[in-house]
């Protein structure tokens, strides 16, 4: 059919049936990458030198999906294209909770305090009674120090009080010598000596203060030997006396560098 002169001729060229069927086939595209490439090549060849071909929107969408799917290796359907393993906004992936840290109190072990033998002056005072024939001599020791903290180097001040019991007041009794000897296991020294005539006839007492010298470094105990020489009147107002010696010991435990050795 011949078109009138001056009329615009719009030519629509039909694509070969085989190519059209492959191109416009609806549904899931082939997953084979080679088939996809051949289909695209055929479309390009057919479009060369051909007028513009307008395709329906549904066909164009299917073609775009087929081309995109063909370029993705391992894509088997349009559903796979639109699916995503990426979590949606607002969804939170589970996070590992931090493992509990053991408390310092659980791992800490109880500290053992040094064990020290108890001493006679730990309570501050102690009393000893010495039998001397027909009477007794009572000795009382006390200190204002903390005897539990005594070490070889610490200053130690001991108070001593002596008085006679179980005797009448008709026989005169005097102390002629009071002496304290200190022994730390390494050396033995005289800590105090008091010579004279000290009346201890009841109810009179004898009182003195003894400052103990430093002991040998590392010593763990101090042994004090206390000696009292007593003169006892043989008969009331006779002026004659006999001698009686009273001996006592006092052992003080010591700390070595803050702990017992």
**Is the CB of residue 248 less than 8 Å from the CB of residue 214?**
no
* Predicted pLDDT at 117: 87
- Tens-place pLDDT, residues 162-191: 999 999 889 999 999 999 999 999 999 999
* Predicted pLDDT at 226: 98
Q: How far apart are CA 212 and CA 155, in angstroms?
A: 7
The CATH number corresponding to 125-253 among 2.70.70.10, 2.120.10.80, 3.40.190.10, 2.60.40.1470 equals 2.60.40.1470
**pLDDT of 254 higher than 60:** yes
* Predicted pLDDT at 175: 98
- Tens-place pLDDT, residues 65-108: 555 555 555 455 545 544 445 554 555 555 555 565 555 554 45
Q: Per-domain residue ranges for the chain?
A: 17-81, 125-253
């Amino acid at each position: 059919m011949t078109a009138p002169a001056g009329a615009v001729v719009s030519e629509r060229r039909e694509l070969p049936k085989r190519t059209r069927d492959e191109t416009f086939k609806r549904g899931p595209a082939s997953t084979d990458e080679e088939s996809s490439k051949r289909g695209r090549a055929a479309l390009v060849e057919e479009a060369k030198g051909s007028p513009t071909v307008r395709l329906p929107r549904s066909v164009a969408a299917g073609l775009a999906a087929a081309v995109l799917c063909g370029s993705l290796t391992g894509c088997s359907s349009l559903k796979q294209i639109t699916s995503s393993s990426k979590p949606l906004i607002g969804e939170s992936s589970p996070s590992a909770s931090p493992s509990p840290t053991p408390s310092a109190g659980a791992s800490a072990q109880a500290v053992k305090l040094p064990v020290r033998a108890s001493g006679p002056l730990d309570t501050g005072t102690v009393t000893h009674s010495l039998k001397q024939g027909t009477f007794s001599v009572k000795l009382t020791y006390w200190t204002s120090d903390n005897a539990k903290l005594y070490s070889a180097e610490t200053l130690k001040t001991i108070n001593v009080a002596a008085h006679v019991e179980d005797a009448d007041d008709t026989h005169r009794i005097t102390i002629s010598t009071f002496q304290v000897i200190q022994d730390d296991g390494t050396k033995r020294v005289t800590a105090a000596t008091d010579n004279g005539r000290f009346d201890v006839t009841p109810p009179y007492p004898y009182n003195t203060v003894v400052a103990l010298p430093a002991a040998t470094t590392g010593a763990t105990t101090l042994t004090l030997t206390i000696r009292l020489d007593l003169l006892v009147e043989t008969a009331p107002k006779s002026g004659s006396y006999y001698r009686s010696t009273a001996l006592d010991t006092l052992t003080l435990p010591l700390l070595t560098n803050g702990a017992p050795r």
